[in-house]
Amino acid sequence: MVIGHTCTCDQNPLLPALCRVIDVKQETPDVQTYTIQTLDGKKPFSPLPGQLAMVSLLGVGEAMFSITAQGEDYIQSSIKRTGMLTDAFHEMQPGQEIGIRGPYGNHFPIEDLKGKDILFIGGGIGIAPVRSLIRYCLEHRADYGHLDILYGARSRKDICFKEDCLENWPKEPDTSVYITTDVPSDDWDGHVGFVPSYIEEVGFRPEGKKVVLCGPPIMIKLGAASLLKLGFAKEDVITTLELRMKCGIGKCGRCNIGSKFVCLDGPVFTLAELDELPDEK
Amino acid sequence: MIISKLNLNKALQILNESAQVFVPAFEVIEDRAAKKSIREKKFLPYREDLEVELEGPNTVKPPKDILFPNVEKLYQYKAAGEDSYIRETLPEETPKILFGIRPCDMRSIKSMDKVFFTKNYVDSYYARRREYVTIVAIGCTETDRTCFCDSMGIDPNTAPGADVMMNRIEGEEAYLLHAQTEKGEALLKNLESLEGPSENVKAIRTDCTLKIRKIPDLDRKLAEMFEHPIWDKVTKGCIGCGTCTFVCPTCYCFDIDNENYGTEGCKYRCWDSCMFSDYTRMAGGANPRPTKKERLRNRYMHKLSYFNERYGETLCVGCGRCIANCPSHLDISEFIEKSSAVDPKAEVYTESIRAAQGKEA
């Protein structure tokens, strides 16, 4: 994969820019989306789909998150509550000052995907990085073929980006949306079942199609197995990895898998590329 | 240029006028529990009353902290609504001279240069310190029992990349110095008044004590040995204390954290160790390197294989500090020999037979 960051090397890559959260949206009981702007109302930087941002709550800590969307004058990150730092993020109100540095890492292969049908598969918060690419493809609709979007959440209330998943995307031309929940609930009349079995149930055809698969490790493992069973090649299945990161620039050491650093050489890898790396994922 | 040993102190004094000079010298540390004092050799800021020792064994700790301090401030911040700020705190622009570093430690600085200067990002903090440091390297005149740099492809008599190379002259109490860079030439110019006569002098040549058998393509061989049972054996005894990473001249991994004073605070980075379990532990508890085996394997693989793949050189310089200081006597040179000698397939085979026999019994 190409490293596509937009580093200007005369700048200090470890120094965040002071930004402001201008909107907080409760997506699910444990996921919030933050809309982030510079203090003078501009976009902090222009990431490519799949790239990462180091988000810092001054005085608490910083961690790496995917950038789920961007507009003319903002970027958005969706963060799930999982630990001490993300607990603090979830206490934020609009107007909160935060530090942002990035964008980091490679990106989804938007050039290679041109002219292809794309199957997007997301599980849980894994839909966040996938969404950056879905939005990109919809904005450049003529460059891409048929779009299939398959998304699995625990239950109806845990579906992230409900407007996109349930209303906007199904209305897009030449786009099919498949939503499933792990458990049934009274307010859900859609499909119930896990993502890997739903992939096989729908029976996607591999011809002319690339797959983007993001979610928890177990879903990636079983989802990949389902895709291979349907005849997809490992080169055509693209996924993202997540490891603990501190610097974001391939120097602090911890996010390595073999000689590769997830923050710099990743987070986007094909299954074929992952096969080349030691089993420490 | 030749400088007599008698003039060494004078030379250091001259250099110390325009820069902060660091030299290998003895520091006496009181061990109150053992009721005795310990003499430890380390790089210290030059003072006239220092007990400087350029030759003899190398320092216990490498001089890496002068370029890459244990703890280093990255920026200051205030988190207070409208009054919030983030202010960069780059290191001061103070010229420093690292006087008397060994060829192994010079090679490790060159490896750190690759890490902090290449692969798309330049580390501003390291770059600033590096720019202001002039390095005077000295060829070894004696080596420790754990020195094996020449087995790792390093000559203990030369230090490519150092600004000035210094060697002891055979049969004389004097040193031969020559500049290897422009910075080095400028440094030697300051010492011209001390120059001694230079007729038919010959520099001492030294050889390493510890010779190990390392195959040239060990990096590629180890890449094939990720699941090999040798890793279970080599990890036995490791207590995960991180001493090896602390004394290693090439270990550069760091953590980033913050310290608060009310609403103000600073972000700093500090040395970290891949031997610690929380080094890779993620929010939620998942850990890709959950036991000592994965962690030690990653450390050795990083030194001997991964770094070669990424930067084209081995990250172990054979200084022997991790061997000399490991409380459990783990020995990377022994591992290099064993993994060089092992027939990967045969070993897996006998191990699996042994495991199968064990189950039957």
Q: Which two tokens stand for residue B282?
A: 């993620």
Residues A30 and A92 occupy one common structural domain: yes
Task: Tell me the pLDDT tens digit for each residue of B197-230.
Answer: 777 888 999 988 788 999 999 999 999 999 999 9
Cβ-nearest to A7 among B120, B289, B294 = B120
| Residue of B67, B73, B86, B131 best to disrupt the A interface, most CBs of A under 10 A | B86
Q: Are B271 and B254 in contact (CB under 8 A)?
A: yes
Residues A81 and A192 occupy one common structural domain: no
**A29 occurs within a structural domain:** yes
pLDDT of residue B200: 81
**A53 occurs within a structural domain:** yes
Using alpha carbons, select from B205, B186, B200, B192 the residue that is nearest to residue B1.
B192
d(C-alpha A32, C-alpha A81), whole Å: 8
pLDDT of residue B197: 79
Q: What is the pTM of this model?
A: 0.92
Of the residues A219, A240, A261, the one at which a domain ends:
A240
Q: Rounded mean pLDDT of B35-56?
A: 94
Residues A85 and A143 occupy one common structural domain: no
Q: Determine whether B296 is exposed, middle or buried from the number of CB atoms within 10 Å of its CB (0-12, 13-18, 19+).
A: buried
Q: Quick check: B255 contacting A, CB < 8 Å?
A: yes
Residues A87 and A121 occupy one common structural domain: no
| CATH number of the domain encompassing residue A23 | 2.40.30.10
**What is the domain extent for residue A68?**
17-104
Distance from the A70 Cα atom to the nearest Cα atom in chain B, whole angstroms: 24
What is the overall mean pLDDT for chain B? Answer: 92
Q: Which two tokens stand for residue B111?
A: 């490896």
Cβ-nearest to B86 among A16, A83, A258 = A16
pLDDT of residue B356: 58
Of the pLDDT bands very low, low, confident and very high (cuts 50, 70, 90), residue B358 is low
Residues A125 and A47 occupy one common structural domain: no
**A196 occurs within a structural domain:** yes
Of the residues A35, A70, A104, the one at which a domain ends:
A104
How many CB pairs below 8 Å do chains A and B form together? 135
What ipTM does the predicted assembly reach? Answer: 0.91
pLDDT of residue A56: 96
Q: Rounded mean pLDDT of B280-303?
A: 93
Residues A194 and A171 occupy one common structural domain: yes
Residues A170 and A236 occupy one common structural domain: yes
Cβ-nearest to B84 among A5, A14, A58 = A58
**A4 occurs within a structural domain:** no
Please list the rounded mean pLDDT of every run of 10 residues in chain A (281 residues): 44 95 97 97 96 96 96 97 95 96 96 97 97 98 97 97 97 97 95 97 97 95 97 97 94 95 96 92 71
**DSSP class of residue B288?**
S
**Residue A253: C-alpha distances to residues A29, A227, B13, B338 (Å):** 34, 33, 39, 26
Using alpha carbons, select from B105, B153, B151 the residue that is nearest to residue B334.
B151
Does residue B353 register a pLDDT over 60? no
Contacts of B274 in chain A (CB under 8 A): 253-254
**A54 occurs within a structural domain:** yes
Residues A78 and A172 occupy one common structural domain: no
Asked if B86 and A99 come within 8 Å (Cβ–Cβ), the reply is: yes
Cβ-nearest to A83 among B269, B280, B284 = B284
**A110 occurs within a structural domain:** no
Of the residues A76, A104, A132, the one at which a domain ends:
A104
Name the closest residue on chain A to residue B87, using Cα atoms.
Answer: A15
| CATH number of the domain encompassing residue A236 | 3.40.50.80
d(C-alpha A174, C-alpha B182), whole Å: 65
**A28 occurs within a structural domain:** yes
Residues A147 and A178 occupy one common structural domain: yes
> Looking at the 3D structure of chain A, how many domains does it have?
2
For B46-196, list the strands marked E by DSSP. 51-52, 71-78, 85-88, 96-101, 133-138, 164-168, 174-179
Residues A86 and A152 occupy one common structural domain: no
**Ramachandran angles phi, psi of A200, nearest 5°:** -70, -40
Contacts of B300 in chain A (CB under 8 A): none
Of the pLDDT bands very low, low, confident and very high (cuts 50, 70, 90), residue B348 is low
d(C-alpha B100, C-alpha B12), whole Å: 11
**A248 occurs within a structural domain:** no
Residues A192 and A89 occupy one common structural domain: no
Contacts of B124 in chain A (CB under 8 A): 12-15
- B window 103-122, beta carbon within 8 A of A: 115-116, 119-122
Residues A226 and A124 occupy one common structural domain: yes
